[in-house]
Amino acid sequence: MYIRRVPFDHPDAVKLNDQVQAEYAVRYGDDGDATPMAASDFRPPNGTYLIAYDEHGSPVASGGWRAQDANEEGNLDGDAEVKRMYVVDQMRGRGLARRILAALEEDARQAGRARMVLETGTKQPEAIALYTSSGYEPCAKFGYYRFYETSRCYAKRL
Protein backbone atom coordinates (compact mmCIF):
# COMPACT_ATOMS: atom_id res chain seq x y z
CA MET A 1 0.00 0.00 0.00
CA TYR A 2 1.34 3.43 -0.87
CA ILE A 3 -0.07 6.95 -0.86
CA ARG A 4 0.58 9.32 -3.74
CA ARG A 5 -0.19 13.01 -4.29
CA VAL A 6 -2.19 13.53 -7.50
CA PRO A 7 -4.13 16.38 -9.09
CA PHE A 8 -7.85 16.43 -8.21
CA ASP A 9 -8.64 15.94 -11.91
CA HIS A 10 -6.31 12.91 -12.28
CA PRO A 11 -8.21 9.92 -13.80
CA ASP A 12 -7.85 7.87 -10.58
CA ALA A 13 -9.17 10.79 -8.52
CA VAL A 14 -12.12 11.20 -10.90
CA LYS A 15 -12.85 7.46 -10.64
CA LEU A 16 -12.89 7.49 -6.83
CA ASN A 17 -14.82 10.76 -6.76
CA ASP A 18 -17.51 9.19 -8.95
CA GLN A 19 -17.71 6.26 -6.53
CA VAL A 20 -18.04 8.47 -3.45
CA GLN A 21 -20.69 10.58 -5.20
CA ALA A 22 -22.66 7.41 -5.95
CA GLU A 23 -22.41 6.42 -2.29
CA TYR A 24 -23.64 9.85 -1.17
CA ALA A 25 -26.60 9.47 -3.55
CA VAL A 26 -27.53 6.12 -1.98
CA ARG A 27 -27.12 7.36 1.59
CA TYR A 28 -28.81 10.74 1.17
CA GLY A 29 -31.13 10.10 -1.77
CA ASP A 30 -29.85 12.93 -3.94
CA ASP A 31 -27.25 13.54 -6.64
CA GLY A 32 -24.24 13.52 -4.30
CA ASP A 33 -22.19 16.35 -2.84
CA ALA A 34 -22.99 19.66 -4.55
CA THR A 35 -20.19 21.59 -2.82
CA PRO A 36 -18.45 23.73 -5.46
CA MET A 37 -14.86 22.57 -5.97
CA ALA A 38 -12.20 23.01 -8.61
CA ALA A 39 -9.01 21.08 -9.33
CA SER A 40 -7.07 24.25 -8.50
CA ASP A 41 -8.44 24.10 -4.91
CA PHE A 42 -6.14 21.14 -4.23
CA ARG A 43 -2.88 22.48 -5.69
CA PRO A 44 -0.03 23.02 -3.25
CA PRO A 45 0.58 25.12 -1.27
CA ASN A 46 -3.16 25.80 -0.91
CA GLY A 47 -4.22 22.18 -0.76
CA THR A 48 -3.39 18.66 -1.78
CA TYR A 49 -5.12 15.50 -2.95
CA LEU A 50 -3.95 12.02 -2.00
CA ILE A 51 -4.76 8.55 -3.30
CA ALA A 52 -3.83 5.25 -1.69
CA TYR A 53 -2.97 2.45 -4.10
CA ASP A 54 -2.96 -1.26 -3.36
CA GLU A 55 -0.11 -3.63 -4.21
CA HIS A 56 -1.50 -4.01 -7.75
CA GLY A 57 -1.53 -0.26 -8.39
CA SER A 58 -5.31 0.12 -8.12
CA PRO A 59 -6.66 3.26 -6.44
CA VAL A 60 -8.45 2.26 -3.23
CA ALA A 61 -8.78 5.38 -1.07
CA SER A 62 -8.64 9.15 -1.39
CA GLY A 63 -8.81 12.41 0.46
CA GLY A 64 -7.80 16.01 0.08
CA TRP A 65 -7.66 19.35 1.81
CA ARG A 66 -8.09 22.86 0.51
CA ALA A 67 -7.28 26.19 2.11
CA GLN A 68 -10.17 28.22 3.45
CA ASP A 69 -10.07 31.58 5.15
CA ALA A 70 -12.78 33.67 6.79
CA ASN A 71 -15.78 33.77 4.46
CA GLU A 72 -19.55 34.09 4.34
CA GLU A 73 -19.91 30.30 4.68
CA GLY A 74 -18.47 30.27 8.21
CA ASN A 75 -14.82 29.36 7.70
CA LEU A 76 -12.09 31.00 9.76
CA ASP A 77 -8.69 32.29 8.70
CA GLY A 78 -6.23 29.42 8.54
CA ASP A 79 -8.74 26.64 7.93
CA ALA A 80 -7.82 23.56 5.92
CA GLU A 81 -11.01 21.82 4.78
CA VAL A 82 -11.00 18.03 4.35
CA LYS A 83 -12.81 16.87 1.22
CA ARG A 84 -13.57 13.58 -0.52
CA MET A 85 -12.38 11.12 2.09
CA TYR A 86 -13.28 7.75 0.65
CA VAL A 87 -12.25 4.10 0.84
CA VAL A 88 -13.57 1.47 -1.60
CA ASP A 89 -15.82 -1.13 0.02
CA GLN A 90 -13.43 -4.09 -0.13
CA MET A 91 -10.62 -2.12 1.57
CA ARG A 92 -12.57 -0.67 4.51
CA GLY A 93 -11.56 -1.48 8.05
CA ARG A 94 -7.81 -1.55 7.29
CA GLY A 95 -6.87 1.90 8.55
CA LEU A 96 -6.55 3.55 5.12
CA ALA A 97 -8.78 6.51 5.93
CA ARG A 98 -6.87 7.12 9.14
CA ARG A 99 -3.54 7.05 7.26
CA ILE A 100 -4.80 9.48 4.63
CA LEU A 101 -6.27 11.78 7.27
CA ALA A 102 -2.97 11.86 9.18
CA ALA A 103 -1.06 12.63 5.97
CA LEU A 104 -3.51 15.44 5.11
CA GLU A 105 -3.15 16.92 8.59
CA GLU A 106 0.63 16.91 8.36
CA ASP A 107 0.59 18.44 4.89
CA ALA A 108 -1.81 21.21 5.98
CA ARG A 109 0.29 21.86 9.09
CA GLN A 110 3.42 22.22 6.95
CA ALA A 111 1.51 24.60 4.66
CA GLY A 112 0.86 26.85 7.68
CA ARG A 113 -2.81 26.05 8.19
CA ALA A 114 -4.05 26.42 11.77
CA ARG A 115 -7.16 24.24 11.90
CA MET A 116 -8.45 21.22 10.00
CA VAL A 117 -12.21 21.32 9.43
CA LEU A 118 -14.67 19.01 7.76
CA GLU A 119 -18.34 18.52 7.10
CA THR A 120 -19.98 15.11 7.05
CA GLY A 121 -23.49 13.84 7.59
CA THR A 122 -25.53 11.84 10.03
CA LYS A 123 -25.89 9.02 7.50
CA GLN A 124 -22.12 8.44 7.62
CA PRO A 125 -21.63 7.15 11.18
CA GLU A 126 -18.33 5.45 10.32
CA ALA A 127 -16.93 8.81 9.14
CA ILE A 128 -18.07 10.51 12.33
CA ALA A 129 -16.42 7.73 14.36
CA LEU A 130 -13.15 8.14 12.42
CA TYR A 131 -13.03 11.89 12.94
CA THR A 132 -13.99 11.93 16.61
CA SER A 133 -11.50 9.13 17.39
CA SER A 134 -8.85 11.20 15.57
CA GLY A 135 -9.33 14.21 17.85
CA TYR A 136 -11.93 16.19 15.92
CA GLU A 137 -14.58 18.00 17.92
CA PRO A 138 -17.93 19.43 16.85
CA CYS A 139 -17.66 23.03 15.66
CA ALA A 140 -19.91 25.76 14.29
CA LYS A 141 -21.42 24.70 11.00
CA PHE A 142 -19.78 26.02 7.84
CA GLY A 143 -19.82 25.42 4.11
CA TYR A 144 -22.41 24.54 1.53
CA TYR A 145 -24.46 22.25 3.79
CA ARG A 146 -24.38 24.39 6.94
CA PHE A 147 -28.17 24.81 6.98
CA TYR A 148 -28.96 21.11 6.51
CA GLU A 149 -30.23 19.19 9.55
CA THR A 150 -28.18 16.12 8.60
CA SER A 151 -24.93 18.11 8.39
CA ARG A 152 -22.26 17.77 11.08
CA CYS A 153 -19.08 19.86 11.21
CA TYR A 154 -15.88 19.05 13.07
CA ALA A 155 -12.55 20.78 13.67
CA LYS A 156 -9.11 19.99 15.03
CA ARG A 157 -6.25 22.38 15.81
CA LEU A 158 -3.14 21.54 13.83
- The full set of domains in the chain, from first to last, is 2-114 (3.40.630.30)
* Residue 139 pLDDT exceeds 90: yes
Q: Is the pTM of this model over 0.85?
A: yes
Task: Give the E-state strand segments of the chain in sequence order.
Answer: 2-5, 47-53, 59-68, 79-87, 115-121, 137-138, 151-157
Residue 152 CB partners (closer than 8 Å, separation 6+): 119, 120, 121, 122, 128, 138
pLDDT tens digit string along 58-110?
Answer: 999 999 999 999 999 999 999 999 999 999 999 999 999 999 999 999 999 99
Task: Give residue 29's pLDDT.
Answer: 87
Task: Give residue 1's pLDDT.
Answer: 87
pLDDT tens digit string along 10-47?
Answer: 999 999 999 999 999 999 987 778 888 999 999 999 99
Task: Give residue 30's pLDDT.
Answer: 78
Task: Give residue 36's pLDDT.
Answer: 86
